[in-house]
């Protein structure tokens, strides 16, 4: 049984309207027995200090809003058990992206890379009356790819993305690229591979695997990246 | 405060399933369109939908739209408008196939078609046996759908204003709608979005209840804005309590679990739904199952130390099948209930889930209000679709999978109507009144200067508790009467909320205070409409209107076969007729009957 307990935090604070520079704030929060997830604790904290800012929506790990750096590792607040964390719990915004305020980062660069891989199905054949057929095995190829919630935990834990966020597509974008390459209904394979055949866009990935380690949906961008590289090699011979 | 003005052909508020589907229609027609959304589009709550989207494709069992229409009318307890229901069920195959063409990763049958599963209240041959009608992508259908729609909008170059919160609807003295005011979260700046057409697709307001499957952002903003601007709200007493929210957490466990063979059990392990719905059992419609569960719990047959929940059991299903068809549910059960459903049953309770009522529209997505003796006169320039709208296809109780369908059909239809009205020259850019932004600026100024007020958190909590206690699964005359009084008091307190954070940048405190204004409109509408409706119908069941020979199930068609219209000003109620006539001659009206499953 979880009872009422107090939990200690160190939280990155920065409000450009007020603060000259960011600082880490020590905060203690009294939790109710029903507060189980880190997000519950943050909501409880906000009832005391309404200036503490972070994004959140679904509270069940599907919307991708509340990604943050939790004790040094990226994750979703709503899927993290408070009691599993070493105190003081240190919370920082996702690394490598400009901070707007407190735990809120500017995701522009992240979405720019996602958009750069043409994240939509391309099929120029006349539209059939009914669904395009796909066998269960062909559909299975999309498992582990389509479930991405665009939380950016992966890309913001990737050193290659930190150094070249404008040039390297990053794990989330590449996972999405492979999601369309792997779809039997998509006809844009060559253009998609051309789009990535570049010293930076794809090949900055050095298989460091940070991305796999942090993905809250247990997806494996490194494997997807490897498969794209395979397709490139196969195309070349 | 300086108010910038931006001009568009059309502005859409909301980028969930309904908003994105409407946006596609406008972007592809070349209209200059702005889509405003509080969150990045794929973070809209459509992403959380699990079980599926209804269409009578007949891929696994025989099916047709007549059966679907019958089920929907019956599910609505005859409060749904039969023209809109015919329209939706007829269009279902088209919009679902379209979605597949957009790239939606539906699961597949062995012969490569879209996979379909059974769902509550959907039947074959007018109620005889469950039918496989719910088109699904594992138990992540909403996620797959929302992403596919967003991706298609990327292709169509739709212009999004992400993390912009619409504040108020702008109308002129004729009542025409001219756009909205909105605040950019990052800067706190307020702008006017001036447009020929405004489409609301802001989703539901499940956050008026304490225990809810809804996201934090589901605060009924569109509904609140409409109410403040003098638009009546339709059928707000009807709220769906989903039978299977994780006990304590509220997170949803899809009905698809029961579609795949899951069984509800009470403390003695009994499959109690056999007593309440001999034919469809665990797959009876949601209001019936939620009430059965509540009865089991109230009569002492609940599970756990406090006997406060029942169990959803899938331990008899093959683990491979659970991993394949219900992988997300397994994750949710482990995360939020602490049990692996392959090994142990999941504790569940009925949880507030879906708002059947909303902004009144017709099947074309036009917002309609009473005027000069006609109950359904379109408001010039105003359209709505999705959970914030009431077409009304769900009537007094929505069938599972009919909402995602509603988003596709009426999102598209609202978009098409705007394009038609635009091309025929019916829409024009009307001059903005000088005070167009005043109401919004005054709300913000009040928050800036309020002293000695109350915290948004406390007032919000009081509202949610009041709703939960006074307008829950079962409703009692005395509690409703007190509820009207109490929610009125909470509404007064909400006028004096105070925030400590005065920053311009990403000020969530201000956002939550502004959202509370909207939630309060929804809560008042719900309580007042519910207190007034002296019968039981669908999700609205009162202790003083029970099953009699004259009024089966407590439903009183002689007096109450009508839609409620609630006006914010003065808490005034009005009513309008239900449309019992289908749209075409292809189908006969579905005659009134007692609902049994
Ligand atoms: C957990 C869960 C599971 C469900 N499963 C199913 C299912 O399997 N099948 C089914 O048919 N139905 C299901 N439903 C119901 C269905 O998912 C919802 O009714 C539907 O997704 C609502 O879609 P929408 O487009 O109307 O709104 P939403 O998807 O909620 O989107 C609302 C949009 O409006 C925006 N918005 C709101 N207010 C403002 C504002 N003030 N300014 C700017 N933007 C604003 C938001 O940012 C968001 O983009 C489920 C619901 C829940 C909660
Ligand atoms: S495997 Fe590649 S993408 Fe993933 S973290 Fe390492 S370098 Fe980045
Ligand atoms: S791959 Fe995983 S970590 Fe990366 S954005 Fe998608 S869900 Fe988040
Ligand atoms: S709040 Fe949606 S993922 Fe955590």
Delimit the domains of chain A by residue range.
Answer: 5-105, 108-236
**Closest residue, chain A, to B149 (C-alpha):** A120
Question: How crowded is residue B299: how many other Cβ atoms within 10 Å of its Cβ?
Answer: 10
With a CB cutoff of 8 Å and minimum separation 6, the contacts of A20 are none
Residue owning tokens 């582990």? A144
Work out the average pLDDT over B396-403: 96
Distance CA A68, CA A87 (A): 16
Decide: A160 and A206 in contact? Cβ < 8 Å: yes
Structure confidence at residue A207 as a pLDDT band (50, 70, 90): confident
| Chain A interface includes B7 (CB < 8 A) | no
Structure confidence at residue B472 as a pLDDT band (50, 70, 90): very high
Work out the average pLDDT over B9-25: 98
Work out the average pLDDT over B430-456: 96
Structure confidence at residue A220 as a pLDDT band (50, 70, 90): very high
- Has residue B474 got a pLDDT over 80? yes
- pLDDT for A136 equals 97
CATH number for A5-105 (one of 3.40.920.10, 3.20.20.150, 3.10.20.30, 3.30.465.10): it is 3.10.20.30
Structure confidence at residue B412 as a pLDDT band (50, 70, 90): very high
Residue owning tokens 């708002």? B355
Structure confidence at residue B1 as a pLDDT band (50, 70, 90): low
Q: What is the DSSP letter of B533?
A: -
Rg (CA), chain A: 20
- Chain A residues lying within 8 Å of B252, measured CB to CB: 60
Do B154 and A120 lie within an 8 Å CB cutoff?
Answer: yes
For the four alpha carbons of B449, B452, B457 and B458, in that order, the dihedral sign comes to negative
- Has residue A211 got a pLDDT over 50? yes
Q: How far is the CA of B336 from the centre of ligand 1 (A)?
A: 21
Ligand 1 near B358 CB (within 6 A): no
Helix, strand, coil % in chain A, rounded to nearest 5: 35, 15, 50
CA of B204, closest atom in ligand 1: 30
- pLDDT for B597 equals 86
Taking only the tens place, the pLDDT of each residue in B270-311 is: 999 999 999 889 998 888 999 999 999 999 999 999 999 999
For the four alpha carbons of A39, B14, B457 and A49, in that order, the dihedral sign comes to positive
Do A53 and B506 lie within an 8 Å CB cutoff?
Answer: yes
- pLDDT for A1 equals 46
Taking only the tens place, the pLDDT of each residue in B242-270 is: 999 999 889 999 988 998 999 999 999 99
- Chain A residues lying within 8 Å of B99, measured CB to CB: none
Work out the average pLDDT over B375-398: 97
Q: How far is the CA of A59 from the centre of ligand 4 (A)?
A: 5
pTM value is 0.97
Mind telling me how many Å the CA of A180 is from chain B's nearest CA? 9
- Has residue B121 got a pLDDT over 70? yes
Mind telling me how many Å the CA of B558 is from chain A's nearest CA? 42
- Has residue B380 got a pLDDT over 60? yes
- pLDDT for A34 equals 87
Taking only the tens place, the pLDDT of each residue in B312-326 is: 999 999 999 999 889
Mind telling me how many Å the CA of B501 is from chain A's nearest CA? 5
With a CB cutoff of 8 Å and minimum separation 6, the contacts of B54 are B68, B92, B119, B122, B133, B134, B135, B399, B401, B402, B404, B405
A176-180, B209-213, B361-365 — which is least confidently predicted? Answer: B209-213
Q: How far is the CA of A141 from the centre of ligand 3 (A)?
A: 17
For the four alpha carbons of A184, A189, A192 and A197, in that order, the dihedral sign comes to positive
Distance CA B195, CA B230 (A): 19
- pLDDT for A3 equals 62
Q: Say yes or no: do domains A5-105 and A108-236 share a fold.
A: no
| Mean confidence (pLDDT) of chain B | 96
Q: Give Cα B77 to chain centroid, integer Å.
A: 17
For the four alpha carbons of B325, B110, B405 and B141, in that order, the dihedral sign comes to positive
- Chain B residues lying within 8 Å of A138, measured CB to CB: 108
Task: Ligand 1 pocket test: pick from B20, B34, B49 the residue with the most ligand atoms within 8 Å of its Cβ.
Answer: B49
Decide: B95 and B17 in contact? Cβ < 8 Å: no
- Chain B residues lying within 8 Å of A49, measured CB to CB: 500
- pLDDT for A237 equals 81
Work out the average pLDDT over A10-37: 95
**Closest residue, chain A, to B138 (C-alpha):** A143
Strands A73-76 and A67-70: antiparallel
Domain A108-236 homologous superfamily, CATH: Alpha-helical ferredoxin (1.10.1060.10)
Strand partners of residue B123: B130
Model ipTM over 0.95:
yes
Ligand 3 pocket residues where CB is under 6 Å:
A 148-154, 171-172, 175, 215, 217, 219, 221
Taking only the tens place, the pLDDT of each residue in A136-165 is: 999 999 999 999 999 999 999 999 999 999
């Amino acid at each position: 049984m979880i009872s009422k307990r107090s939990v200690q935090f160190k939280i990155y604070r920065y409000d450009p309207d007020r603060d000259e520079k960011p600082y880490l704030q020590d905060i203690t929060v009294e939790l109710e027995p029903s507060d189980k997830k880190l997000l519950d604790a943050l909501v409880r904290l906000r009832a005391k200090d309404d200036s503490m800012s972070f994004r959140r929506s679904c509270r069940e790990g599907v919307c991708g809003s509340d990604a943050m750096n939790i004790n040094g590792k990226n994750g979703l607040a709503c899927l993290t058990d408070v009691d599993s964390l070493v105190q003081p719990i240190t919370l920082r915004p996702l690394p490598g992206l400009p901070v707007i305020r407190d735990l809120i980062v500017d995701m522009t660069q992240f979405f720019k890379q996602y958009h750069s891989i043409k994240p939509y199905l391309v099929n120029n054949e006349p539209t059939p009356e009914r669904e395009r057929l796909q066998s269960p095995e062909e559909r299975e190829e999309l498992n582990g790819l389509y479930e991405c919630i665009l939380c950016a935990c992966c890309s913001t834990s990737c050193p290659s993305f930190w150094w070249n966020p404008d040039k390297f597509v990053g794990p989330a974008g590449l996972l999405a690229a492979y999601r369309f390459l792997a779809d039997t209904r998509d006809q844009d394979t060559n253009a998609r591979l051309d789009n990535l055949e570049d010293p930076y866009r794809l090949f900055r990935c050095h298989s460091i695997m940070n991305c796999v380690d942090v993905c809250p949906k247990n997806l494996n961008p490194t494997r997807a990246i490897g498969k794209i590289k395979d397709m490139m090699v196969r195309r070349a011979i | 405060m300086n108010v910038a003005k931006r001009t568009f052909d059309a502005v859409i508020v909301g980028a969930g399933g309904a908003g994105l589907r409407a946006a596609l229609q406008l972007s592809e027609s070349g209209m200059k369109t702005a889509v405003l959304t509080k969150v990045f589009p794929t973070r809209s709550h459509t992403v959380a939908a699990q079980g599926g989207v209804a269409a009578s494709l007949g891929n696994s069992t025989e099916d047709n739209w007549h059966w679907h229409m019958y089920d929907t009318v019956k599910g609505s307890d005859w409060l749904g408008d039969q023209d809109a229901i015919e329209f939706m069920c007829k269009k279902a195959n088209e919009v679902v196939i379209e979605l597949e063409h957009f790239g939606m990763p539906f699961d597949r049958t062995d012969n490569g078609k879209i996979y379909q599963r059974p769902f509550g209240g959907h039947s074959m041959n007018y109620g005889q046996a469950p039918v496989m009608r719910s088109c699904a992508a594992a138990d992540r259908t909403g996620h797959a759908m929302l992403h596919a729609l967003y991706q298609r909008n990327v292709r169509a170059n739709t212009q999004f204003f992400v993390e912009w919160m619409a504040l108020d609807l702008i109308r002129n003295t004729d009542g025409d709608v001219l756009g909205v005011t909105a605040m950019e979260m990052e800067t706190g700046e307020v702008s006017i979005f001036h447009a020929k057409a405004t489409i609301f697709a802001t989703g539901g307001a499940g956050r008026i209840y304490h225990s809810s499957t809804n996201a934090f952002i589901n605060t009924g903003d569109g509904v609140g804005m409409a109410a403040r601007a003098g638009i009546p709200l339709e059928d707000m007493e009807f709220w769906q309590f989903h039978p299977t929210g994780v006990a304590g957490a509220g997170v949803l466990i899809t009905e698809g679990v029961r579609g795949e063979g899951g069984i509800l059990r009470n403390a003695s392990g009994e499959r109690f739904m056999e007593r309440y719905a001999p034919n469809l059992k665990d797959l009876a419609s949601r209001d019936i199952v939620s009430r059965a569960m509540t009865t089991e719990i109230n009569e002492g047959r609940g599970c756990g130390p406090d006997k406060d929940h029942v169990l959803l059991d899938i331990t008899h299903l093959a683990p491979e099948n659970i991993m394949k068809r219900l992988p997300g549910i397994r994750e949710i059960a482990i995360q939020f209930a602490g049990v692996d459903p392959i090994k142990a049953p999941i504790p569940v309770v009925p949880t507030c889930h879906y708002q059947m009522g909303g902004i009144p529209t017709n099947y074309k997505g036009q917002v309609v209000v009473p005027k000069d003796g006609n109950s359904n006169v379109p408001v010039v320039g105003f359209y709505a679709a999705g959970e914030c709208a009431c077409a009304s296809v769900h009537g007094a109780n929505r069938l599972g999978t009919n909402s995602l369908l509603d988003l596709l059909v009426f999102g598209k239809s609202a978009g098409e109507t705007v394009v038609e009205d635009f091309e025929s020259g019916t829409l024009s850019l009307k001059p903005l009144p000088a005070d167009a932004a005043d109401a919004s600026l005054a709300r913000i100024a009040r928050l800036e200067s309020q002293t000695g007020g109350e915290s948004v958190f406390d007032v919000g909590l009081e509202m949610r508790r009041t709703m939960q206690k006074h307008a829950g699964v079962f409703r009692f005359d005395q509690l409703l009467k007190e509820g009207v009084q109490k929610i009125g008091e909470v509404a007064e307190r909400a006028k004096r909320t105070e925030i400590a954070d005065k920053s311009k940048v990403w000020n969530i405190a201000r956002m939550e205070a502004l959202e509370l204004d909207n939630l309060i409109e929804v809560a008042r509408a719900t309580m007042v409409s519910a207190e007034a409706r002296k019968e039981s119908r669908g999700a609205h069941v009162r202790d003083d209107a029970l099953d009699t020979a004259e009024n089966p199930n407590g439903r009183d068609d002689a007096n109450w076969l009508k839609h409620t219209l609630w006006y914010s000003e003065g808490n005034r109620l009005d009513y309008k007729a239900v449309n019992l006539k289908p749209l075409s001659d292809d189908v006969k009206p579905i005659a009134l009957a007692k609902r049994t499953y």
